[in-house]
Amino acid sequence: MTPAAGEALAAAEVIVGYQTYLDLIPEFLAGKEVIASQMMKEVDRCRKALDLAAEGKKVALVSGGDPGIYAMAGLVFEMAREQNASVDIEVIAGIAALNACAARLGAPLMHDFAAISLSDLLTPWEKIERRLEAAAAADFVVVIYNPKSKKRAEHIVKAREILLAHRDPETPVGIVTAATRENERIVLTTLAKMLESEIDMQTTIIVGNSMTFAWQGFMVTPRGYAAKYAL
Amino acid sequence: MTPAAGEALAAAEVIVGYQTYLDLIPEFLAGKEVIASQMMKEVDRCRKALDLAAEGKKVALVSGGDPGIYAMAGLVFEMAREQNASVDIEVIAGIAALNACAARLGAPLMHDFAAISLSDLLTPWEKIERRLEAAAAADFVVVIYNPKSKKRAEHIVKAREILLAHRDPETPVGIVTAATRENERIVLTTLAKMLESEIDMQTTIIVGNSMTFAWQGFMVTPRGYAAKYAL
């Protein structure tokens, strides 16, 4: 958490968030009105936060990772627009899963990359496939969000097939689950073998581009210095 | 800066970095060996950091933004591999330009996006064009790093042409320069008009996808809630 996020929490009168995240920041909750909710109630959480803000309260809506990357910031704006709400909104950047997972793996995001969510809850699967195909063909490093849930075990299988049509089976793949948390798991594998590792809802997967290499347990996408300078 | 980065700096015996970044963190430099260098000497900085680490010193190599996204982490690994260096390396994630710029603009990165650098210093321009084309055609939000330098004024012109071949001229475009710094500039414009705004080496540009909208000065890419739920 950045100092800016801490300052926003300290300045807030009401803190709204998913219970699991609020449990991580007890020191910021003392003396505040706290509204906790369960998973999958994000629409309710946003509505509550906007209602309270419209009443004139300073509200902090807590998001895991970076609220601006596949997270809560967008829903707040979508809903505020629908309601024609008259509230001041500020988004405070955080460490997204892609930042945290990249750091734990080494340096896979040194070159152009595409972030793609495999969740078809709000996006047609055909569009997701088209993006996988485009990213694979143009040699982007690919960051896969939401690779699997109980209801969607086959999406990551299909995604791997699309990538394999354009990349060497030995392409490094990093599989990071619950980055920086107590139950963190990090696996450095290959496109050929990636499905042998455990993948779940807390997992983010980074697939290297044609230049990415594995070195001493790290995954590195070179920027191209070695080709230009004597290192 | 995150607490993890602060702890690493506090634990370091030597701090190596670009002078402009070190000037931002004087409180971490007291009592340390400090090795500052100028822009474009990143190879020298990495070499020095690795040499000192090989001597057994705890070295912090300071990077702006997130060292893992188009920044210093990759060069450290590229060089360590070339040297067959025997040092422990840890990357600490930070707030990259894409995180900071997205937050300042609203919520443009709520859906799949591609990050593309227009610098052809270490990458053939043909490869960059191919990625722009792929990202534009597959309706990715596009984050453009290094849009312009004194020597490369025409790349952003060409990038815009490629995007315009696939997107509405009214597609929202966010132009953020020096995000969160004193000289921060934020412009919310459109693909049609984006070249009318000042763009320089400190600028990051975010081009919306086909769903991105502008609302009260913010740029928002909907996740798709409005289509699924009554907001």
Q: Residue A4: pLDDT above 80?
A: yes
The CATH T-level fold of domain B3-83 is Cobalt-precorrin-4 Transmethylase; domain 1 (3.40.1010)
Please spell the DSSP secondary structure of A122-137, one letter per residue: SS-HHHHHHHHHHHHH
Q: Residue A155: pLDDT above 80?
A: yes
B75 contacts A91? CB cut-off 8 A: no
Query: Which chain B positions have a beta carbon within 8 Å of A146's beta carbon?
Result: none
Percent of chain A with pLDDT over 90: 86
Position B173 confidence tier, pLDDT thresholds 50, 70, 90: very high
B169-185 mean pLDDT: 95
Task: Give the span between the Cα atoms of A75 and A87, in whole angstroms.
Answer: 14
Query: Which chain A positions have a beta carbon within 8 Å of B6's beta carbon?
Result: none
| Same CATH fold assignment for domains B3-83 and B97-220 | no
More confidently predicted of A226 and B133: B133
Q: Do residues A94 and A66 make contact, with C-beta atoms less than 8 angstroms apart?
A: yes
Task: Give the span between the Cα atoms of B224 and B208, in whole angstroms.
Answer: 15
pLDDT at A150: 84
Report helix, strand or coil for B97.
helix
Q: How many residues does chain A have?
A: 231
Task: Give the span between the Cα atoms of B102 and A86, in whole angstroms.
Answer: 22
A74 contacts B223? CB cut-off 8 A: yes
A123-131 mean pLDDT: 96
pLDDT at A40: 59
A93 contacts B100? CB cut-off 8 A: yes
Q: What is this model's ipTM?
A: 0.96
CA distances from A29 to A1, A15, B190 (A): 15, 7, 41
**Of the candidate ranges A35-39, A114-118, B220-224, B225-229, the one whose mean pLDDT is the lowest:** B225-229
Task: Give the span between the Cα atoms of B153 and A48, in whole angstroms.
Answer: 47
Q: Where are the domains of chain B?
A: 3-83, 97-220
pLDDT digits (tens, 9 = 90+) for A76-110: 999 999 999 999 999 999 999 999 999 999 999 99
Q: Residue A72: pLDDT above 80?
A: yes
Tokens of residue B190, six digits: 């459109």
Query: Which chain A positions have a beta carbon within 8 Å of B220's beta carbon?
Result: 74, 77-78, 81
The number of beta carbons lying within 10 Å of the beta carbon of residue A104 is 23
pLDDT digits (tens, 9 = 90+) for B104-126: 999 999 999 999 999 998 899 99
Rg, Å, chain B Cα set? 20
Mean pLDDT of chain A: 94
Dihedral sign for Cα B9, B15, B21, B24, please: positive
- β-sheet bridge partners, residue B15: B34, B60
pLDDT digits (tens, 9 = 90+) for A26-50: 999 999 999 998 765 889 999 999 9
Q: Which CATH number fits domain B97-220: 3.40.50.970, 3.20.20.150, 3.30.950.10, 2.60.210.10?
A: 3.30.950.10
The number of beta carbons lying within 10 Å of the beta carbon of residue B187 is 18
pLDDT digits (tens, 9 = 90+) for A178-203: 998 889 999 999 999 999 999 999 99
Report helix, strand or coil for A9.
helix
